[in-house]
Amino acid sequence: MPPQTRLTLERLYASPSLSGPSPRGVRFSPDGKRVTFLKPRDDDSSRFDLWQFDVATGAQSLLVDSSLVDPEDTELAEAEKAMRERRRIAGLRGIVDYAWGTRDTILVPAGGDLNLITLGAGSPTVRRLTNTDVFEYDARVSPGGSYVSFIRDGALFAVEVATGTEHRLSPPADPANAISYGVAEFVAQEEMHRYTGYWWSGDGRHIAYTKVDESGVDIVPRFDIAAGEATVVSQRYPRAGRPNAVVALIVRELATGKEATLTTAGPDDYLAHVYWADGAVWFQTINRAQTQLAWNRAAGPDWRVTTPYTEDNPAWINLASNFVGLADGGILITDESEGYRHISWLAGETFERRHLTFDHNVVLDILGYDTETRTVYFSGYFDTPLEKHLYAVALGPTDAEVEAAGHARLPDTACVDHTPMSARSTAVCPEVRRITAAGGSWQVSLAPNLKSFVGTFSSATQPPRTGLYRIDGTHITWVEENNLDAAHPYAPYLAAHAAQEFGTLTAEDNQTLHYSIRKPADFDPAKKYPVIVEVYGGPGVKRVANEWGPLSDVFYTAQGYIVFRLDNRGTDGRGRRFENVIHRRTGGPEVRDQLTGVDWLKAQPFVDADRIVLQGWSYGGYMALMTLAQAPEGTFAAVVAGAPVTDWSLYDTFYTERYMGTPENNPEGYAASSVFAHLDGLRRAPLMLVHGMADDNVTFDNTTRLMDELQQLGIVFELMTYPGQRHGIAGEARQVHLMRTRMEFIRRHLNTGDC
């Protein structure tokens, strides 16, 4: 490869991104006339500005320069740092979030304050709604645009847009007793993906909010070790088997201030997601064992709580934030009661449950519902687990129409029997149709009128490209075409690009395992290549997909490595049978599946069986350690474990107990699933441990305890720690350092070339 086209580590992480422009936070304006998105700067891919795309003209322009609202990159408050860490945006700067209000107002939190952007004929105007020394966050515009609500000092506030007058809508926080209002507790953010603790009603007359009492949650001292100082952070962290927060859900009428408490969850159950529909509050509660999820409903004026539907599973329930309120009072949700996540229609005032989708397919998210055509739009895996697409399915005729036609509804489904008086039914069932084009994976945002959508497509050969499409999938125009032409940032390195290839293997229980393999661009089947196995393997995540993928893989292949990934049993998107194998015993079936992949690699004539590396981060770090420990001698030439869980009793309640139960009711499972039960196996290959020294998710003591045990046993290992870094290692310089550290470790033990 000519020197000027060699992909260096510095260029891999430098700006502009080698994958080209890729919008974040794509949203339609309320009137559907604009598409707004966050776009990184060409000279700094971690700093985002707010851009707009005019649907009528196709013109794209900068809407809000982040320097207007946060010119100095304000130091973040601890609450904001934690929130960004939970949302996996800790390394981003500038405008990292925004919310549409009315058709001509946008709310932009930045610099610890709130900014209201008003659009007009000329340049947008910026009005600072708050200007304090404390951080305001989790801000949004109320329905109708009269208020902007936000959290300050652990309490819920709202400011009148017209006058600037502030109102505190909740009681003040009580830090001495660990009580806050309108916030999401740690496990809600980290594990439920619920990042808020308050919800406006659709008419703006009511607001529901949480009261969070963490006084019973253990304080886990966490050493936040930065470059120049070490701070002891007294973090409320509910470890497995220990007390949770107590969370109450309160509804408040704005005009009168009258309040009602709907439920109090915890410490032995949880408040999950909350929604409004037709003036009623719907909220999920789930028991601590996470075997029963209740859909609860309360409507004014008495706010009496009923439970129209429950979902039960003897292993565990997977939460989903899917909810649509229907005009007849019914709702659309998703559940896994039939083994795969599907759409359930809870119909009418009685909430009779009907299946809307079927078979061995997986619904991911309900994206919208068209009341005119009675059509549900959703994302999912209905063609292949490798590609996420936009699909549509119609509810079909109303009950009145079914009755008028002399037909009958089949039990528990949306299907209709056209010959109800016959000995054999003639079932007409809803048909699912795919809207987006096959050949890759899609991220979709629907227009408010559901007549169009913005879709971002990528595949193994195409970096993410974003376009505007009619609702039937017809392309209208590009928002970011991102062609791989001579002007593309990746053009100088395209000759060395290696696309992923895909295949399947068979697990011990005959279930299908999908893998991806990326070979060097100049691959010669007559040669033998070293392999880097990238592992994650944890529930709720899948890593094998027909999409562009990380260009760090291309850096590896340019160095002469093959990169291999396998989605083992227990990972997401394949249904309950595939996932449930890890119930009460992690680090077993997943490890055996990864070793099945390694065995397949070793059998390939182009693989150097003596030079296979295993590396992973977070659950992947745990898997790297557990796989090394249980693999036969000589399986791996080197192993890198980043931010690993080493003992599940050190991790949080909601995640850990979902799969493992508690340490008290499953001591054998916890013992067998701990890295500390397999320490002697960590001698089987050179090992490197990596961890951020301020990690508030997989806390640093997971690694320090392992270090101590390995030292006691005389097991040699290498270590790299990152001062001030949390669960992710942020910043261009640190990312370069981390990659170089891993590559030099791998190179030494595989005797491969310099990186």
What contacts 395, CB < 8 A, 6 or more positions away? Answer: 345, 356, 374, 375, 376, 414, 430
Residue count (the chain): 755
DSSP states of 356-420: -S-SS-EEEEEEEEETTTTEEEEEEESS-TT--EEEEEE--S-HHHHHHTT-EEPTTBS-EES-T
Distance between the two ends of the chain, CA-based, in angstroms?
14
Which whole-number Å values give the CA distances from 571 to 186, 382, 505, 558, 593, in the listed order? Answer: 23, 17, 15, 29, 11
3-state secondary structure 551-589: CHHHHHHHCCCEEEEEECCCCCCCCHHHHHHHCCCCCCH
Could you tell me if 223 and 721 are in contact, meaning their C-beta atoms sit under 8 angstroms apart? no
**∠ Cα 19 21 24 (to 5°):** 110
The tokens for 577 are 């049978």
Cα–Cα distance, 312 to 290 (Å, whole number): 9
The secondary structure of 583-632 as a DSSP string is TT--SSHHHHHHHHHHHHHHTSTTEEEEEEEEEEETHHHHHHHHHHHHSP
Residues 676/647, Cβ–Cβ less than 8 Å: yes
**Positions marked active-site:** 618, 695, 727
Angle, CA of 454, 456 and 462, to the nearest 5°: 150
Contacts of 754 (CB under 8 A, 6+ apart): 747
Q: Are 434 and 391 in contact (CB under 8 A)?
A: yes
The contacts of residue 256 (CB under 8 Å, 6+ apart) are: none
Burial (Cβ within 10 Å: 0-12, 13-18, ≥19) of residue 746: buried
